[in-house]
Structure formats: C-alpha cells, structure tokens
Structure 1
Amino acid sequence: MLGLILEPPKDVTVEREIEKTRTRVGERINVTLKVKVRKGIGIVLVRDNPPASFKVEGKTSTTTFVHPFKRKFEISYTLVPLKRGEFELPKVEVFCIHFLKFYPMSYFLTGEPIKIAVVPSPGIGRVVRAKKVLTKKSPVMLYSLTGALTTDFKEIREYVYGDAFKFINWKATARTGKLLVNEFEREGKRSIMIFLDSRMENLGSHVDNPLEYAVDLAYALATFYLSKGNNVGLYVIGQEKLVTPSSSSAHRETILKALLGAEYKVEETINEAFSKASQVLMRYAPTIILITNVTEEIIEELKKIKGNVVLVDISLYKKIMPNEGILVNLKKKSLHSELKFPAILWDVSKHDIRQAFLKVVMTA
C-alpha cells in the first residue's frame, strides 16, 4: 500500500553547463549536468550523449536513488574534440524508476541541444612565427594594395579621414548611427584559390585522415594570405562548395565555416571542379593551391588542368603502414614528375603543419 502511495521520481530538470562552445582540436571542454528531482522516490538515471568525434574523460551518465532528503546531484566530465567541424550535444536522456517498480518506468529528453564549433588546430602559434621568418628571409611578393578601385564590392566599414564623400552609405549610416562607407576591391590585388579534395576522407580513420590535415593547412594558408591583403577563395571538391575570392575582414570566418563543413558528399573530379569554378578562375586569374592525395587515378585528372598551380600531395601512408608507406611515397614522387607544375609531398609522419605551410608559401 505504501508503495502505491509514494510516487516515482518526477518533475526532473537538468541544467547543462559547458565551459565553451567554440574550441580547437585537442582542447579540453568541461561539462557539468546539474540535476534536480522535485518529487517522488526511486532511481533516476541521467545520460548525456556526446558526438563520436569527441574523446570523453569521466562518466557521462549516472544512476542515483532520490528521496526527500536527496533531490539534487551532478555529473561532470571532460570532452576533447578529435576532429574539426560543427557538432551538437543533443538533449539529455532521463530514466525514472519507482523504488518498488509499482509504476512503469518513464523516459524523456530534457534540456536544449548545444552546438559546438571545433576549428582547425594547425599549430597557429608556430605558423604565425613561420610567417615572420618567411617575411624576413624571403618576403612574399604582393601586387599593389593601392591600385585603382574596381566596381567589385568588398565591405561596409566605418568612415576614416580621407574617404571620398560619394562612398558614404547613407542607409547603413541612418540604421546604425555611425558614418559608414562602401569599400570596393582595388586593381592589382593578388588572388589565391584553394582547391580542397574531400575524396581524401576515405583514407584512414574518421578522425585521422588526409582531409583533416588538408583542412588545417588550408585554414593556415587562408589566414596568412588574407593577412597580407590578398583575395582568397575556396572550392571543396566532392562537395561542390565554392567560396568566391575576397579580402574583406569577415572573409576568414566565411572560409572557416566552409572548412568546418568540408566532407565528401558527391562524385566529382578535379576537372569537373575547375569547370564549375571557371568563371571565378577567369575573373581573378588566381594562383591555385590544390590539396589532394595523389594516386594513379588522380594523376590523370591533374594532367588535364591548366593555370598557375601548386600541388600539395598529402601522404598518410607511412603513418598507417610504416614499411609500405616508403614505397608509396616513392611512387608518388614518380607521379609528380609527370606534371607540368610544382608538386609538394607532405608526409605527415615526417613534417608538421609549419613545415608544410612554409613549403607551400615559398612555392606559390
């Protein structure tokens, strides 16, 4: 009779606290679940379900016996992202069981999903130092940053002394209360177009494959060239994703967002990608940095492309197959000799992101 009178646990709330929602690969994120059960006696099981691309330190679930003298408890654990991208912590699972099992078990989801952005972690500090060394020893040649203005819109920014009156954006000024002007691209600015081959994702594991290294390198290169005032564009092969070249202050975030979502979705060759981006290539005449994993099939695609191209061939083979990887890399170098443009072999087991970055910038 007593068991029927006493209710099972109910009115359960879970408050999830997360240390940060934007982080880098390898950085730790502390998560805490604060659980409160307002009514009932029995067992409450609370479980969080982090995405598979995170390493979990600690327990993400717990079972607690709740009663009038114990209504609150917590779960704490740490997430370590292993892969870049945009992820979501889903709602928290809650199971409630009557202490004598006189009532059916109840199950529900609570809380709000939380999105976590994991940005590439290419050793940015080391790349920044590499930029200083590069600029000091062999400055990167840029075209004029003060050439004649074109009709290509760049961005809206605050007025500075010397801006022409005709460039004032009166609508934006009225909306914000600040004097704003339209800025346009200038002639003579160098353009860089990065082609990223997402088909590399099929080699290696979910979190350790050539595409992950390619994204790190592409992000470092884009950040560097944008800092020099260049136009930078991106095309993700196998996703049909095109980011038109620009040098605006907000463009780094645009490229970063595209890189976070880079994945292999559709069948697409390098030649097809160049064809789809042909208008951009004709308009900007960019230096092309093509990042892929060269095979005998890929080399046939590469032989058909034209332009000012620098190839980056990412090799993961020595890392996953130490003995066979040596032979694979020798084969890759032999295939490179068949091309009419420079090719850089990035053996990730031998060279880090800084060394790969320097080779590319010195070559492009």
Structure 2
Amino acid sequence: MWTKKGWLYLAMGISLAFLALVVRSTALMVLSVLLLATILVTQFFSRLGKIASMRQLSSEKIFEDGIITVDLALVNKGGRTGFLEIRDKLPQQIQIEEGTNYLIIDLKPNESLRMKYKIKGPIRGIYEFGPVSLRAQDVFNIFYKELELELVDNVTVFPLVYDIKDLPIRSRTPKLFPGASKVKQPGPGSEFFLIRNYVPGDPFKNINWKAFARTGELLVNEKEREAVSDIVIMLDARATAATGTIGHNALIYGSRAAATLTSFFIKRRDSVALIVYSDRLLSIKPSQGSKQLYEILTALAGAEPAGDLPFKGVVEVSSPYMPRRSPVIIISNLDGDPSVVDAISELRTLEFDVV
C-alpha cells in the first residue's frame, strides 16, 4: 500500500515527465524516469515475512477494576523485517496500567520478542483481545505492508461485588434442606430455639442436664431450623438502561446490585435464579453453589442494553417457572414502561414477595 510520501513522489515523477515533454528537456525526462523507476523497485523491498505469535493472560476472568498481565511473544520465522510496527489491539474500554501494547522494532531472522504489559478492566463486559496488527515499510517510506495475526482471546470482566452483612429477605416456603436462613421452626440448626419435654427417641446429647438438675424432669434443647430459600432476581437491561455515560448508567449499577445480591445469597446457601430482559429474555434456573454464582456473574457481564420488552410480558412468561411464594427482587429504573404497576400487582396476586 502507498504512503503519503509515496503518492507525493509519484505525483512529482508524473509532473516532471509532463514538464519534460512540454519544454522538450532530456534532463527532466531522465530525472522523471529515475524517480518513477525508484518507486517501482522500492515496492519490492517492503518486507513482512512469516511471524509466529502467542499471547498469555494471567487471568481470563476478573472483577471490575481488576488487573491482568498480558504477555505477547513473537518469533520472526522469515527474513529481516526492517522497520516493523507491532500493535496488540485492545477494546476501547480497557485501560493500560503499565507497559505498552505498541512497539517499533527491527526483527532479524529467528529473533524473538516479548511484549509484557498490564491492563485494567474498569467496566463489566466480555471483551475480545486481538488480533495483532503488523505493519512494515520500505527504507524510503514509500510503500507499506500490513498483516493481522489472528490471535484472539476473550476476557470476562464481572460486575463489582460489594460486601453486605445481612438482608431480611427469605422465602415464605423455605426448602427443608440445611441452609443459613432461620425459619422460626424447630429443626437442624446452630442457634437455640426452645426447650421442650423429652420424648422417647430424642438423642441424649440434646438433653438439657442443667434443667434436669433443677426440675427433675428430662427436657430437650431444640435448635432453630436453618433452611434454604429460593430467590429470584430480575434485571432490566432495556435500551433505556444505557442512559448516561459508559461507566455511569442504570445497567452498570443494576448489574453490580444483582451481582452483590447473588453473592450474598449464595454464601447464605440459598438458591438464586436470574432473569435479564432487554430485546429478549435470558433466564437462569435457581440453583446453589459457586458454579451458579459464576454462571450468573457471566450473564451479568454479557448483558447488553437493547430493546423494550414490557415488564408485564416478562412476568407472564416467567412466573409459571418461578418458585412459588419466593422473594422477587426487581432491579430497574422503571423508565418508559407503563406495564410495571400491573406486572407487580400480578406478582403479588401470585403470592410472590416483591422487593
């Protein structure tokens, strides 16, 4: 491809040739031929041979404001490159914290190069790193050649998760599995609930011997049942959620709120479901554990503002599959959706606790 300098030389050569014909000057014609011949020969000296590449990332998943170390290795398996520009292409939202992703170098045959730099992901999302762009010029800077090395990696930036101590949000019909939610019923647990009379079959370890010494009657300690709750989180990702700047809008803050709540409930051993609605409906079934946490975090990282699904339609489609009488946490700016009131009324009618 031509550089600006190359186009200038070509214009000069043609102009000299035209001027030589007008004034019938042999010297100008010879100069024009030499200039045009130089341009013609030079295009064969812009070299960009075979270059192998490999990129290593210190992590492919981070939270917002997390740091990743990028290590790009290049090996010249062809001839000498001469003036070579190297750029490791990064998404616009990614910030370079240390080092550089751009370098100018002369690579000799079989010479290797390593570019190491650190980046920060300030905003949640799923980002594509690459390809690697190479550009070589001839010695006179008349022509250049470009090559893209198809070296692509994906990095997931999860929304920030804040630390919260406790939330009084529990299901009215908890599952009878060990969890961290106290349900004001006797059963398996860790905290004292009440004392009752001994019944044959009660474990001896539950007998309150101090009470027996005082009263002469066998009394048993009961613990407060700790059970699992089903929690449903609904996130509004319609186009209106993008109102604001890239780093300050309803979807960014809503994603962080959903991530924080999910982390809290998963740590409490609750079962969490996620529904994200935009121009389509994304639903993750209720489940527990770290696998569920990372599945929800990945969905939140990839949520893009689009469309305008009415909330009432989302409720009508989703409610048959939601755990009955469970808390439903709605995260939305409620902007531009007249169906919200009817949708919340329908959830209340179906005995969901709307938060």
* TM-score between both structures, scaled by the size of structure 2: 0.63
Structure 1: gaps of 5 or more residues:
149-187, 310-340, 343-363
Q: Kindly report which structure 2 residues correspond to 1:163-174, keeping only aligned pairs within 5 A, or say none.
A: none
Whether 2:283 is the aligned partner of 1:258: answer no
Is the 8 Å Cα contact of residues 169 and 327 (structure 2) preserved in structure 1?
A: no
1:64 is displaced (CA, Å) by 1.8
What does the per-residue CA deviation read over 1:151-206, in whole Å, with 9 as the maximum and x for residues that have no partner?
xxxxxxxxxxxxxxxxxxxxxxxxxxxxxxxxxxxxx8532111101124321112
Q: Which string of whole-angstrom CA distances, capped at 9 and with x for unpartnered residues, describes residues 235-283 of structure 1?
A: 11213111222335532222222212212232201111111112123x5
CA shift for structure 1 position 33: 2.5
Preserved CA contact (<8 Å) 1:41 1:98: no
- Asked whether the equivalents of residues 10 and 96 of structure 1 are also in contact (C-alpha less than 8 Å), the reply is no
Against the structure 1 CA distance between its residues 215 and 17, is the aligned structure 2 distance closer, same or farther, given a 3 Å change threshold?
A: same
1:269-311 alpha-carbon deviations (Å, 9 max, x no partner): 1111111112123x5332111011134x44x3322122667xx
Q: 1:41 offset after TM fit, Å? A: 4.5
Letter aligned with residue 277 of structure 2: I
- Partner amino acid for 1:94? L
SS in 2 for 1:214: helix
- The match for 1:172 is none
SS of the residue corresponding to residue 216 of structure 1 reads helix
1:63 to 99, 104, 121: 104
Aligned residues: 259
What are the superposed Cα offsets for residues 84-130 of structure 1, whole Å, 9 maximum, x if unpaired?
1221102201112233568x53322215211111111223xxx1xx3
Overall identity of the aligned pairs, in %: 19
- Is 1:280 the counterpart of 2:280? The answer is no
1:228/1:108 CA distance change after superposition, 3 Å: same
Provide the residue aligned with 2:120 in structure 1. 80
Q: 2:75 aligns with which of 36, 46, 61?
A: 36
**SS at the partner of 1:284?**
coil
How many angstroms does 1:141 deviate by?
A: 7.5
What TM-score results when the alignment is normalised by the length of structure 1?
0.61
C-alpha distance in 2, partners of 1:196/1:293?
A: 10
**Which of 221, 242, 258 lines up with 1:218 in the alignment?**
258
Larger Rg: 2
Equivalent AA in structure 1 for residue 159 of structure 2:
P
* Correspondence for 1:17 among 56, 65, 79: 56
Q: 1:229 to 1:72 in 2, by over 3 A?
A: closer
Change (3 A) 1:4 1:53: closer
Tell me if structure 1 keeps the 8 A contact 2:171–2:231: no
The 5-angstrom pairing of residues 196-275 of structure 1 reads 196-199=235-238, 200-238=240-278, 239-247=280-288, 250-275=291-316
The letter for the 2-side match of 1:27 is: G
Question: Aligned equivalents of 1:250 and 1:75: distance in 2?
Answer: 34
SS at match of 2:259: helix
Q: Matched residue of 2:84: which SS?
A: strand
Contact 2:85–2:134 (Cα < 8 Å) also in 1 = yes
Give the corresponding residue for 1:302.
340
Distance 2:230 2:288 in 1: 9
Quick one: distance in 2 between partners of 1:249 and 1:62? 41
- 1:50–1:90 Cα contact (<8 Å) kept: yes
Distance 2:81 2:294 in 1: 50
Tell me the SS of whatever aligns to 2:261: helix
Aligned to 1:243, what secondary structure does the other structure show?
Answer: strand
Q: Distance in 2 between matches of 1:5 and 1:214?
A: 56
**How far apart in 2 are the matches of 1:230 and 1:12?**
52
Does the Cα contact within 8 Å between 1:6 and 1:40 map onto a contact in 2? no
Tell me the equivalent position of 2:129.
Answer: 89
Counterpart Cα distance in 1 of 2:135 and 2:230: 56
Map 1:310-329 onto structure 2 (within 5 A): none
Q: CA RMSD in A?
A: 3.4
CA contact (8 A) 1:8 1:98 kept: yes
Provide the C-alpha distance between the structure 1 equivalents of 2:308 and 2:125, rounded to a whole number of angstroms.
Answer: 21
- Structure 2: runs of 5 or more not aligned: 1-37, 179-226
